[in-house]
Chains A and B, each alone.
Chain A
Amino acid sequence: MKNKKMALGTLALLLLSSTVLGCTSNNGNGGAGAGKGTPPAESTVEGAKPEVIKFSYLRPTWGPATYAKGGAYEKELLKQANAEIEVSIIPVIDFDAKINTILAGGDLPDVLWANGPLMERDRDLQEQGAFLPIDDYLEKYPAVKDAVPDGIWEQLRAADGHSYFIPNLIYPITPAPIMYRQDWFEKLGIAEPKTVDELVAALEVIKNSDPDGNGKNDTIPLTAGYEWSFKDVATAWEVSMNGWTPDPNDGNRIIPSIANEKNIDFFVWLQSLYSKGLLDPEFKLNKEPNFAEDKFNAGMAAVIATPWVSYIEKVTKLQKLDPNAKVGIMSPLAGPDGTPGGTRSVFPVDRGFYISAKANDPDGIFRYLNWTLTEGSDFRRYGVEGKTYNVVEGKKVVIPNEQREAGYKGEQIEPLRFLDPISEKLDWDSLQLDYEGAGVGDQFEYVKSKFEEYAQVDYPDWRDYTIASPADAELGARLWNDYMQPVVDSAIISKSATKQSWLDALQKWSNAGGQKIIDEVNGLQMNKNKPDYVN
């Protein structure tokens, strides 16, 4: 009995010590101190063999999560860069939940992707000393600094005057147009729709026809992966999806999209498509991230709302199935009241990464980043000749993903990507080579012209997220979950959802603190001019 008590006591002591030790390592004061203000060390001693750069790296992937460590591309990259990178990936759909779990565990990788200081959680972590201030390294490695416009560095700078976050830049204009099977439209005698009403009429014809000629009227008229895929269709209602826009009742105030009646009308319109069988019945039900793209590429759907960059993939995959397949891109559709459509531009940063304050070799990490933007720039951008690109008439032409060996496919390369400079974000010459490499070079000017049509009319998010709203930080998530998420998530696919049920929920949201958030955002954000992310 005594022995049993002793054993239990020892076990309890062990558990207690491991908890305390675990929490101590989570504390991280030492790491933060070590990181803050420490000047970058010299890269290498003159004449000595360069030291291998070693660090761990956690990032999301937008493509298939099939990365296998130690592939051919990875070996070549790490050999050239003299680096050993321990990569972990998170499918982007699970990113927020998983990154929160990892953060709560306190065991941060050396380099980790996050939402950045535009999000309260990351702003808070910066203030707690979780991440390394990078100002000195940016001075030491100007290629990294120059990759990001000065204005973006300035907007992402913390209140303490330091930079912590290296942004993943995106071009602010990223149209999500409606693409369609042009050959089927021609077969059925449907003219390309110019308005949302004409689109509905076209979808009705497709629903009652057999464009693929399989003897059944089973072609899905319209599909899309997410609500966000409709961000540019929503502009026909003057809606900046998930963004803030001027209050129709007071031009000096901005309101979130959930409080914008035109946004509700847009959701009601989508609901009518769903209930009439014009929108994919698996919309918001199928948990497979690429289900809509797969259906369109397999010739099961006639129309898709999708990012413009997916054009090459669609044409090449469809033409494998049917050499006569043609893919058209609709011009921005006009709204029910004639509102001209356009694109919903975005802030030119989509996540990015931090260096942990406890990283063993931050200088090595920056040496590596610097290499990818200088001597390693061509490798970063194009990869390996004969494997990921070919040189044709002196130009580097990218090999389409389907034609590459397994170890050089995009899904093996994406996990090893870090920072691409802003200058590469919309490089038409490079894009033209991509189209030519995929054998659809004759379509390049057509796609470019459609891009320009969308870019002409911009419906941006008017809120400046660099200005923190304490009320939003404290109440925003809970109020969204408690009041608005149920109606927004059910608005399209539920038969019982109505505009009135949305308005009722909005009233409750507003009373519970939503109005306080709107008032605070308007009070803090003095500049309510239309943002221009392109210039």
Chain B
Amino acid sequence: MGLQIAFKDFQIFRGMWESPWVGWKNFVDVFQSAKLPQVTLNTIAISLYRLVFGFPVPILFALLLNEIRVLWFKRTIQTVTYFPHFLSWVVFSGIVFNLLGPLGIVNLVLTNLGFAPVNFLTMPEYFRSILVVTGIAKEFGWGAIIYMAALSGIDPQQYEAAKIDGAGKLRQIWHVTLPGIRSVIALMLVLSLGGILDAGFDQVFMMYNGAVMGVADIIDTYVYRLGLEEAQYEMATVFGLLKGIIGFTLIVTANAIIRRMGEKSLW
């Protein structure tokens, strides 16, 4: 219902039903926006970096955890790595700022070692890497849960059979563990592709600044500034609608590809 705002001159107090229709005007405004190419490119680039570098990390972490036989150690590691997930980006970005900020710990170490301080957070060449690495650091523990659950479903007899056949640890992982969780990996990949236009608003919003805006400004931060700070709800709705359509198309496409590959798909 709310999507009709994309086609209206939305007047808050009159409500969306009473607001006048304006046809495609809001879409024309969005496509005429000089920032559109930049924020779209940034969004896709950051999302792809997250996918390429971030997607395998929880899988690898789950595989490593799966090999730990000392229960208390395993649980301690799990708890420590889950914990950052429960911190908001407001808090976690503060930790990142205290680490990488101009007066942060890394710069303290650098200056004590006789190097010049580096203002990491204002350097466009570092910013996306910082986003991706800190994003992974915060979420990889939590992301591993689903793979841990999948791993617990693998029949132990398969490992025994592999051992009898002479497979070492790596061979067991390659021939038993990974095939055992392949369908979950495929499922998670489909879902990740659907969210490719969500490059992580909270994190970017808390960490970006004027100096890195050229590489950090994503669709959601642009929509926040225009839609909420400047009360242009129509443009925000247009972006939301377009994101929804593109995300849906990506999910359907990825799902079809995975189904053709013979994996378990969403539908």
Which residues of chain A have a CB within 8 Å of any CB of chain B?
16, 19, 23-24, 26-28, 32, 96-97, 100-101, 103-104, 106, 121, 124-125, 128-130, 281-282, 284-287, 477-478, 481-483, 485-486, 488-495, 497, 508, 512
Contacts and interface: CB of A to CB of B under 8 A. Distances in A.
B122 A285 contact: yes
A485 B211 CA distance: 11
A104 B12 CA distance: 6
A27 B13 CA distance: 6
Given A285-B97, A478-B29, A494-B122, A106 B13 contact: yes
Contact of B226 (A27, A124, A481, A490): A481
Given A482-B34, A497-B211, 19 more contacts: A23-B15, A26-B13, A27-B13, A28-B13, A97-B228, A100-B228, A103-B12, A106-B12, A124-B11, A128-B14, A130-B13, A281-B103, A281-B117, A282-B101, A285-B102, A478-B33, A481-B35, A491-B210, A493-B209
Contacts of B103: 281-282
Contacts of A491: 210
11 contacts: A26-B15, A100-B228, A104-B233, A106-B15, A125-B12, A125-B13, A285-B121, A286-B97, A483-B34, A493-B122, A494-B210
Interface in B1-26: 1, 11-18
B102 A281 contact: yes
A97 to B, nearest CB: 4
Nearest to A487: B210
Contacts of B165: none
A508 B34 contact: yes
B15 A28 contact: yes
Chain A interface main SS type: helix
B217 to A, nearest CB: 8
Interface of B: 1, 11-18, 29, 33-35, 93-94, 97, 101-103, 117, 119, 121-122, 206, 209-211, 213-214, 217, 222, 224-226, 228-233, 235
Contacts of A490: 210-211, 213-214
Contacts of B206: 287
B221 to A, nearest CB: 10
Contacts of B224: 97
A220 B107 CA distance: 15
B162 to A, nearest CB: 44
Given A101-B228, A128-B14, A477-B226, A281 B211 contact: no
A370 to B, nearest CB: 27
Contacts of A485: 213, 225
B213 A489 contact: yes
Contacts of A101: 228
A286 B101 contact: yes
Contact of B12 (A32, A130, A284): A130
A103 to B, nearest CB: 5
Contacts of B35: 481-482
B130 to A, nearest CB: 13
Contact of A100 (B17, B121, B213, B231): B231
